[in-house]
Structure 1
Amino acid sequence: MKSIKLLAFLFISTLVFTGCSDDDDNVPGEVNEEEVITTMTITLTATGQTDVVLRTQDLDGDGPNAPVLTVSGPFAANTTYTGSIVLLNETESPAENITEEIEEEDEEHQFFYTATGVNATFAYAGPNDENGNPVGLNFTLTTGAASTGSLSFTLRHEPMKTATGVSTGDITNAGGETDIETTFSVTVQ
């Protein structure tokens, strides 16, 4: 009889100790929510030229309304522009400046630029992340002869910055997830 009581006690004790474990391995880590980006404004400045401002605004996010795209004017031919990008979340009041988050999490973000049909080339301008890899909030755009085409801007979250070509702006091997991507129709004259 003592054996049965002892076995019952051991069985119940095992269940109690197993069920009351303070093992935190099953607790999820800190969740880093993706940024909500409703507005991207790209300002391009060149000496002696009118600034060109490219803007996309999508105040309903994934809602039924398409983003509103604006291009303030044409680019001048054979000119180098200095570009900067500002990202906002305008679902909040006042609007949240997402650019600051990108700067704080610079190792986890990178912009990629593509010119299609238009005579223009891009180059990253600093600051870079702490590993020396580009972030792309600042860049240069150099135009060539008169042309018409498009400029695309893509922000990737957690790209593989050390993959072949990524540091020079080739999105092919970048991986990661797209936070925002927009294509603008532009003219160089």
Structure 2
Amino acid sequence: MKTVKLLALFFVANLAFVGCSSDDDDHHDHDHEEELVTTVIYALTNGNDVVTLTFQDLDGEGGNDGTYIVSGPFTANTFYSGRITLLNETESPAEDVTEEVEHEGDEHEFFYISTPNDITILKTDVDDDGNPIGIETTLKTGDAGTGSLTIILKHEPNKPNNDTPTDAGGSTDIEVTFPITVQ
């Protein structure tokens, strides 16, 4: 019995050692904890025409459902400049998680999927390797109609990719879908 306990202790100690080992060849900082994101704000502007998409879930995943707020309709056939902000509002003051995503740009990428497909979103910011991040965007609306806009943040995606979350792989840090109207 003593041998079994010693073997079990050795096995657990070995797992802990392997799990905590570092790979000196890997220049990415993978030791960070996953940040809690309670709030997503996607602000889009064209002069005085401002549309803000906000998702908030202060108790996190698994608690109460989050709330989705769209400040108003988009104008048809119009260009908007966009910027996404991620917050952890369980801290006071709220932590701006966007800064970490930007700092670790080579390990993150936002994807934007709209229906109908006549809304075009271009990512205008890039990481140190010249690959898109998607914190800053340009959005062009199409004709009037209703639909949805899904925002997905991938962690450790394949870069470059074909601008789809499926091709990018990685894990999904955030996925929110807003109902939108274009007038």
TM-score norm. by structure 2 comes to: 0.82
In 1, the alpha carbon distance for the partners of 2:94 and 2:80 equals 27
Q: Structure 1, residues 29-74: CA drift from partner, whole Å, max 9, x if none?
A: 4732111100000000013x42000000000002321011000000
The answer to whether the Cα contact below 8 Å between 1:161 and 1:174 also exists between their aligned partners in 2 is yes
Deviation at 1:27, TM superposition (A): 6.6
Deviation at 1:87, TM superposition (A): 0.4
Q: Which amino acid aligns with 2:112?
A: Y
- Please give the secondary structure, in 2, of the residue aligned with 1:112: strand
- After superposition, the CA RMSD in angstroms is 1.7
The answer to whether the Cα contact below 8 Å between 1:118 and 1:188 also exists between their aligned partners in 2 is no
The answer to whether the Cα contact below 8 Å between 1:119 and 1:146 also exists between their aligned partners in 2 is no
Unaligned runs of 5+ in 2: 1-16, 22-29
Count, aligned residues = 160
Q: Which runs of structure 1 show a deviation greater than 2 angstroms over 4 or more consecutive aligned residues? A: none
Q: Which has the larger radius of gyration?
A: 1
In 1, the alpha carbon distance for the partners of 2:64 and 2:19 equals 39
> Which position in structure 2 is the counterpart of 1:70?
69
- Please give the secondary structure, in 1, of the residue aligned with 2:99: helix
The answer to whether the Cα contact below 8 Å between 1:40 and 1:88 also exists between their aligned partners in 2 is yes
> Which position in structure 1 is the counterpart of 2:179?
185
Q: Structure 1, residues 87-138: CA drift from partner, whole Å, max 9, x if none?
A: 0001111111101101111100000000112631111112x10100000000
> Which position in structure 1 is the counterpart of 2:165?
171
> Which position in structure 1 is the counterpart of 2:20?
28
Q: How does 1:6-155 map to 2 (within 5 A)?
A: 26=18, 28-29=20-21, 31-47=31-47, 49-117=48-116, 119-126=118-125, 128-155=126-153
In 1, the alpha carbon distance for the partners of 2:107 and 2:117 equals 30
Q: Structure 1, residues 122-166: CA drift from partner, whole Å, max 9, x if none?
A: 11112x101000000001110111011000100000000134x1x
Q: Which amino acid aligns with 1:174?
A: A
The answer to whether the Cα contact below 8 Å between 1:118 and 1:149 also exists between their aligned partners in 2 is no
Q: Which amino acid aligns with 1:41?
A: I
